[in-house]
Structures are given as C-alpha cells and as structure tokens.
Amino acid sequence: MTIDFDVDTLSGMVPLRQAVFSLGSNLGDRMEYLQGAVDALRATPGLTISSISGVYETKPVGLLDQPDFLNVVVVADSTLASMVMLERALAIEEVFNRVREVPGGPRTVDVDVICVGERRINTEALTLPHPRAHLRAFVLVPWLEADPAASLVGHGPVAELVRNTDTSGVVRRTDLRIE
C-alpha cells in the first residue's frame, strides 16, 4: 500500500488541487445519466467544475459485447481529500443504480477519479492516478479537449498520450452537450 501524504492532508487542511473525473454510460438514457452525474458533481461542496469536455461516443473496452458508451471528462478544482472524492463518485453511481455484476460490463453510469493534483495513492480502495487512464482513449481524448495542457502524473502530457493511443473508437458527438 502506497499513500503519498502531504502535511496539509495530515493536518486536516487540503490545498486546492485539480481533480479529473471520467464519466461514462451505456445503458438507458445515457445523456440523462451523464447530465445527472455532472449535476451531482457540480452540487458537491468543496468541488468547483472548471471544464467539461464534449460528449464522445466510444466503443467498449474489454467486454466488447455491450452497447457503445457516451463519455465525458470533468475537470474540477477541489479542497476535498481524494478518498472523499472517491466516496462521492461511488455515491453518484449508487443514485443512478449502477450495478456491478460483470467486471467491465454495461452500466447506467460510471464515475472514475482519474487524478487529483500530483497525488500518488495505491490502496485497495483507490489508486491515483487511475492505473489504466494512460491507455484509454475514451479518457484521454475528452480530457485533452477539456484541458489542452493536461498532464498525467507518471505518464506525461495527455496530448502525447493521445498521439500514441488508438483513438479510432472515439467519436465526438457534436449533436450532444452537457449543460
């Protein structure tokens, strides 16, 4: 188990840090679920959304026999502890009846914490940065749109990661928009 503590976290004060969330949905009214999840993040005390990517339609990864996803990335500034952000993400999934029957299976909504500032955490509950974010075009492409200067801890600039990733299954849906 690795946790990168800083003095402020240990004293109960958490500095303002950038947090990146990846949201996806491939069941039911996908846009309604994504909008609801973004609204729930927006309503979270201690979290201020600074940027939201456009909506992307993406092919599933891993378990391929399932509907395509709609994905967005939300970039926020936050004073919340990383574990509190994870708890909020899981609570949002629960509100929208996320079921975890099959790993990587279909879902109403998925809210992943991708990174929180420069934090490096590796516990049973949370790994930051997200251990597969650097490989996932459905995270990287919308993230680059939301924050063109983004960099992923331990992996470098997101723009470079996108250049080295197969993005063929990621299509910007200009007809859809998160409010």
Render pLDDT for 117-165 as a digit per residue (tens, 0 to 9): 999 999 999 999 999 999 999 999 999 999 999 999 999 999 999 999 9
What CATH number does residue 83 fall under? 3.30.70.560
Question: 131 in a domain, yes or no?
Answer: yes
Q: Which residue has the higher pLDDT, 178 or 14?
A: 178
Domain hosting 101: range is 2-172
Is 88 a known active-site residue? no
Catalytic residue among 110, 120, 147, 177: 110
Question: 146 in a domain, yes or no?
Answer: yes
Render pLDDT for 22-40 as a digit per residue (tens, 0 to 9): 999 999 999 999 999 999 9
What pLDDT, on a 0 to 100 scale, did the predictor assign at position 32?
A: 97
Is 112 a known active-site residue? yes
- pTM here is 0.91
Question: 9 in a domain, yes or no?
Answer: yes
Query: Structural domain tally of the chain?
Result: 1
Is 110 a known active-site residue? yes
Catalytic residue among 17, 107, 119, 136: 107
What pLDDT, on a 0 to 100 scale, did the predictor assign at position 141?
A: 98
Question: 76 in a domain, yes or no?
Answer: yes
Question: 134 in a domain, yes or no?
Answer: yes
Distance CA 76, CA 124 (A): 24
pLDDT band at residue 1 using 50, 70 and 90 as cut-offs: very low
Is 98 a known active-site residue? yes
Average pLDDT across the chain, whole number = 91
